[in-house]
Structure 1
Amino acid sequence: MDSFKDTRRQIIIALVAIAVVISIGVIGFMVIEGLELLDSIWLTVITLATIGYGDVYARSVPGRVFTIFLIFAGISVFAFGLQATASFFFSPIISDLRRIRRAQRRIDQLTNHYIICGDVGELVDQAINSLLNNAERRRASNLERVYRPLDHLLDRLFGDDELGHYARPRAVVRRIYWAISRPFLRGQTLLDVIVVIASDPTHADELRDKDMLVIEGKPTDDITLRKAGVERAHALMVMLGSDSEALLTVLTARSYNAKLYITAA
Structure 2
Amino acid sequence: MIKRRLLFALILLAIVFLAGISGYMLIERWSFLDSFYMTVITIASVGYMEVNPLSPHGRIFTICLIIFGMGVLLFGISTFTAFLVEGELSEILRRRKMEKKISKLNGHYIVCGVGRTGKHIIDELYKTGRPFVAIDKGEDVCKKLGEKGLLFIMGDATSSAVLKAANAEHARGVFCSLSSDAENLLLMLTAKGINPGLKIIARAEEDESEDKMRKAGADGVVLPEFIGGLRMASEMIRPEAVTFLDKMLKGKEEVYRVEDITVVSNSVFIGKTLKTSGILNKEGVTVAAIRKGGKYTFNPSEEERLEMGDALILIGETKDIREIKKLAG
Q: TM-score range by the shorter chain?
A: 0.5 to 0.7
Greater RCO (Cα-Cα under 8 Å, separation 6 or more): 1
Where does 1:177-256 land on structure 2 (aligned, <5 Å)? 190=130, 193-240=131-178, 242-256=180-194
Cα-to-partner distance string for 1:111-162 (whole Å, 9 max, x where unaligned): 43321123411x4333323444456xxxxxxxxxxxxxxxxxxxxxxxxxxx
Per the alignment, do residues 237 and 72 of structure 1 end up closer, same or farther by CA in structure 2, a change over 3 Å counting? same
Following TM superposition, by how much is the alpha carbon of 1:93 offset from its aligned partner in structure 2, in angstroms?
Answer: 5.6
In the other structure, the counterpart of 2:108 is: 113
Per the alignment, do residues 18 and 52 of structure 1 end up closer, same or farther by CA in structure 2, a change over 3 Å counting? same
Per the alignment, do residues 10 and 111 of structure 1 end up closer, same or farther by CA in structure 2, a change over 3 Å counting? farther
Q: Conserved in 2, the CA contact under 8 Å of 1:194 and 1:213?
A: yes
| 2:46 paired with 1:51 | yes
Following TM superposition, by how much is the alpha carbon of 1:211 offset from its aligned partner in structure 2, in angstroms?
Answer: 1.2
Unaligned 5+ runs, structure 1: 136-189
Between the aligned partners of 1:131 and 1:251, the Cα distance in structure 2 is: 24
In the other structure, the counterpart of 2:71 is: 76
Q: Conserved in 2, the CA contact under 8 Å of 1:21 and 1:73?
A: no
In structure 2, the residue corresponding to 1:231 is in which secondary structure? helix
User: Mean alpha-carbon deviation: is it higher for 66-75 or for 217-226?
Assistant: 217-226
In structure 1, the residue corresponding to 2:111 is in which secondary structure? strand
Between the aligned partners of 1:117 and 1:224, the Cα distance in structure 2 is: 10
Where does 1:122-161 land on structure 2 (aligned, <5 Å)? 123-133=117-127
Cα-to-partner distance string for 1:78-111 (whole Å, 9 max, x where unaligned): 1242244234333356654554454334434444
In structure 1, the residue corresponding to 2:170 is in which secondary structure? coil
Q: Conserved in 1, the CA contact under 8 Å of 2:17 and 2:39?
A: no
Q: Conserved in 1, the CA contact under 8 Å of 2:9 and 2:79?
A: yes
Letter of the 1:128 partner, please give it: I
Q: Conserved in 1, the CA contact under 8 Å of 2:112 and 2:136?
A: yes
Between the aligned partners of 1:37 and 1:225, the Cα distance in structure 2 is: 51
Letter of the 1:23 partner, please give it: I
Q: Conserved in 2, the CA contact under 8 Å of 1:4 and 1:97?
A: no
Between the aligned partners of 2:104 and 2:133, the Cα distance in structure 1 is: 12
Q: Conserved in 2, the CA contact under 8 Å of 1:198 and 1:218?
A: yes
Give the greater-gyration-radius structure (CA). Answer: 2
Identity of aligned residues (%): 32
Task: Name which of 194, 200, 211 aligns with 1:262.
Answer: 200
In structure 2, the residue corresponding to 1:88 is in which secondary structure? helix
User: Structure 1 length as normaliser, TM-score?
Assistant: 0.61
Residues paired across the two proteins, number:
203
Between the aligned partners of 1:84 and 1:17, the Cα distance in structure 2 is: 17
| 2:103 paired with 1:103 | no
Q: Conserved in 2, the CA contact under 8 Å of 1:118 and 1:239?
A: yes
In structure 2, the residue corresponding to 1:259 is in which secondary structure? coil
Following TM superposition, by how much is the alpha carbon of 1:258 offset from its aligned partner in structure 2, in angstroms?
Answer: 0.9
Higher strand share: 2
In the other structure, the counterpart of 2:313 is: none
Between the aligned partners of 2:114 and 2:34, the Cα distance in structure 1 is: 67
Between the aligned partners of 1:202 and 1:224, the Cα distance in structure 2 is: 18
Unaligned 5+ runs, structure 2: 203-221, 223-329
In the other structure, the counterpart of 1:179 is: none
Higher helix share: 1
Between the aligned partners of 1:55 and 1:243, the Cα distance in structure 2 is: 72
Per the alignment, do residues 87 and 101 of structure 1 end up closer, same or farther by CA in structure 2, a change over 3 Å counting? farther
Per the alignment, do residues 124 and 63 of structure 1 end up closer, same or farther by CA in structure 2, a change over 3 Å counting? closer
Between the aligned partners of 1:200 and 1:45, the Cα distance in structure 2 is: 45
Q: Conserved in 1, the CA contact under 8 Å of 2:9 and 2:72?
A: no
Between the aligned partners of 1:96 and 1:88, the Cα distance in structure 2 is: 10
Following TM superposition, by how much is the alpha carbon of 1:195 offset from its aligned partner in structure 2, in angstroms?
Answer: 0.7
In the other structure, the counterpart of 2:305 is: none
